[in-house]
Amino acid sequence: MQTSEAKKVNYLSAQHTVASWLLTIDHKRIAILYLVSITVMFLIGGLMAAAIRAELLTPAGDLMGSDTYNKAFTLHGIVMVFFFLIPSIPATLGNFLVPLMIGAKDLAFPRINLLSWYIYMVGATIGIVATVTGGLDTGWTLYTPYSTAYATTNVVMPAIGLFITGFSSILTGLNFIVTIHKMRAPGMTWFRLPLFIWAQYATSIVMILATPVIAITVLMVAIDRGLGLGIFDPKAGGDPVLFQHLFWFYSHPAVYIMILPAMGVISEVIPCFSKKRIFGYNFIAASSLSIAIIGFFVWGHHLFTTPQSMYAAMAFSIITFAVAVPSAVKTFNWTATMYRGSVSFEAPMIYAFGFMGLFLVGGLTGLFLGALGLDLHVHDTYFVVAHFHYIMVGGAIMAYMAGLHFWWPKMTGRMYPEGPAKAAALLIFVGFNLTFFPQFLAGYAGMPRRYHYYPPEFQIFNVLSTAGSSILALGYLLPLGYLLWSLRYGRAAGRNPWGATGLEWMIDSPPSPHNFDETPVVTWEPYDYPDAHRRTAEHAASEAARV
């Protein structure tokens, strides 16, 4: 593997036909397929967000009526949650990196991996076509009895779309778990795995155990609506609150499907740009698993204003507070990693900083909502909207951007221009806060979510928010421009542009179709960065052994 073999075939140049992409079983190409499709989804969802923000600029409904507005925010929610955020990091970065990071030639089931992309495409297409043609106005939560009995829009088709998409998530999770158990390179013990892998593993547990429940729940909505079975209808002995239990049994853990991989990305980026071994490796790994497990016991915090028994509510509230502990462990450990490190501010690191600040605000306001009393006040207000956007956009998408910028040189073999990348990261951070911070204030003052008109005293918050959203949009369009530009004009990245540790940085960029010419043997510990202040002789030795 000498550098003189620069013209070696890589996974991108190996074949060029359309069929070679659509029938590929190379995990790296499937990652690219996902990357392209979720970017399209992000643009559709973003367009809806723009429509919502434009409408909310004034207190009156001037751009659209209630029905259209309801359809717009439903489409925004469904597309962003199910078709963008859930597959975002696992299906793109995860697909690309899991085999590379553990020293494997592919995932355990390459064909199932391709199948999961096709399932995703079928489900997403049905979902989008149904929501665009008939429209769906239930909100992404599909609450009963509105969705089963009263909504006059297209409920069954999008439900089927979600049902189908769920399987792609289950198959991805299955593939990752088997791969991580069975295909680690010799010497790659569990406690030498990059923390990104631990995060993907924990995410996969949630994907496998929770996704079947949402699939069956939306199917029950469809059956209830189509056949009038009355599963969620009190007249027939059913219970609408049962729907909320089942829906959030998946949808709360689904938040961890979005945020755990994001935390995995941050755990890779921060040590690299601090040039220091990560602080508390075992605790970060264990906190991923405990978030995945405890995350299954908190869903009732979405039901505090329903007739849910107050005893159940108390239990859910306490466990909700408990799940904040492992998240805090991670945040403190990242901070400790930077302490006395030689921190540098490349674009991925700026995104990671953005993640840490925004996730902190999102996480702490989550505790507000998990408190039984305060939740009654802010339930169904913009406070909730702001909170989950801080987690999902400020947390998950920020980390997705960090990861995309961090591994882009590996995925494409090209460097993007650093200046615009930093500018975009800052634009996103500023635009994001301007968009969503006023929503905390509006919500706390009592502005309810999901209305297209509102009392005039809330206008100032909404004007700020809409102004922020245009900056945010610019921040997201900029990377689309320079990343595409870099594909052609970016300078060659070389194997390891960041001086990062990890097996994926020891092979060519872009990697060859089979990843490793010979199976690597791992003899060193993870995050073996030269400690900023105590560079040891052992490290120098292990570095020599690696080259």
Q: Residue 32: which residues within 8 A CB-CB, separation 6 or more?
A: 21, 96, 411
x/- contact string, 221-260, with another protein (CB under 8 A)? ------------------x-xx--xx--x-----------
State yes or no: residue 387 binds Cu ion (CB under 5 A): no
Q: Rounded to the nearest whole angstrom, what is the least distance from the CB of residue 461 to another protein in the complex?
A: 32
The structure tokens listed for 284 are 């970060």
Q: Is the peptide bond before 510 cis (omega within 30 degrees of 0)?
A: yes
Given Cu ion, another protein, none, residue 252, with its beta carbon under 5 to 8 Å by kind, binds: Cu ion
Q: Rounded to the nearest whole angstrom, what is the least distance from the CB of residue 358 to Cu ion in the complex?
A: 18
Ranked by CB distance to Cu ion, the top (closest) residue is 252
State yes or no: residue 109 binds another protein (CB under 8 A): no
State yes or no: residue 245 binds Cu ion (CB under 5 A): no
Handedness of CA 170, 259, 268, 512 (dihedral sign): positive
- Selected from 7, 17, 237, 307, the binder of another protein by CB under 8 A is 307
Q: Is the peptide bond before 145 cis (omega within 30 degrees of 0)?
A: yes
Cα atoms found within 13 Å of the Cα of residue 104, Cβ hemisphere only: 26
Which residue is associated with the tokens 């990752």? Answer: 176
Work out the burial of residue 36: count CB atoms within 10 Å of its CB; fewer than 13 is exposed, 13-18 middle, 19 or more buried: exposed
Region 188-207 residues binding another protein, contact defined as CB under 8 A: 205
Given another protein, Cu ion, none, residue 307, with its beta carbon under 5 to 8 Å by kind, binds: another protein
State yes or no: residue 315 binds another protein (CB under 8 A): yes
Q: Rounded to the nearest whole angstrom, what is the least distance from the CB of residue 309 to another protein in the complex?
A: 4
* CA nearest to 407, candidates 263, 281, 505: 505
The structure tokens listed for 370 are 């998990």
Q: Which stretch binds another protein (CB under 8 A): 120-128, 299-307, 357-365, 372-380?
A: 299-307
Give the number of residues in contact with another protein, rule: CB under 8 A.
24
Q: Residue 294: which residues within 8 A CB-CB, separation 6 or more?
A: 319, 322, 323, 326
Given Cu ion, another protein, none, residue 242, with its beta carbon under 5 to 8 Å by kind, binds: another protein
Three-point CA angle 301, 386, 203, nearest 5°: 60
Given Cu ion, another protein, none, residue 532, with its beta carbon under 5 to 8 Å by kind, binds: none
Asked whether the beta carbons of 41 and 85 are under 8 A apart, the reply is: no
Q: Which stretch binds Cu ion (CB under 5 A): 78-86, 176-184, 245-253, 266-274?
A: 245-253
Within 228-239, residue ranges assigned H as helices are: none
- Selected from 28, 71, 192, 252, the binder of Cu ion by CB under 5 A is 252
In the chain, the N- to C-terminal Cα span, in Å, equals 11
Given Cu ion, another protein, none, residue 460, with its beta carbon under 5 to 8 Å by kind, binds: none
* Closest CB to another protein among residues 218, 397: 218
Asked whether the beta carbons of 457 and 392 are under 8 A apart, the reply is: no
Q: Which stretch binds Cu ion (CB under 5 A): 119-127, 154-162, 252-260, 465-473?
A: 252-260
Which residue is associated with the tokens 């553990």? Answer: 102
* Closest CB to Cu ion among residues 155, 294: 294
| Interface ranges with another protein (CB under 8 A) | 181, 205, 208-210, 213, 239, 241-242, 245-246, 249, 296-297, 299-300, 303, 307-312, 315
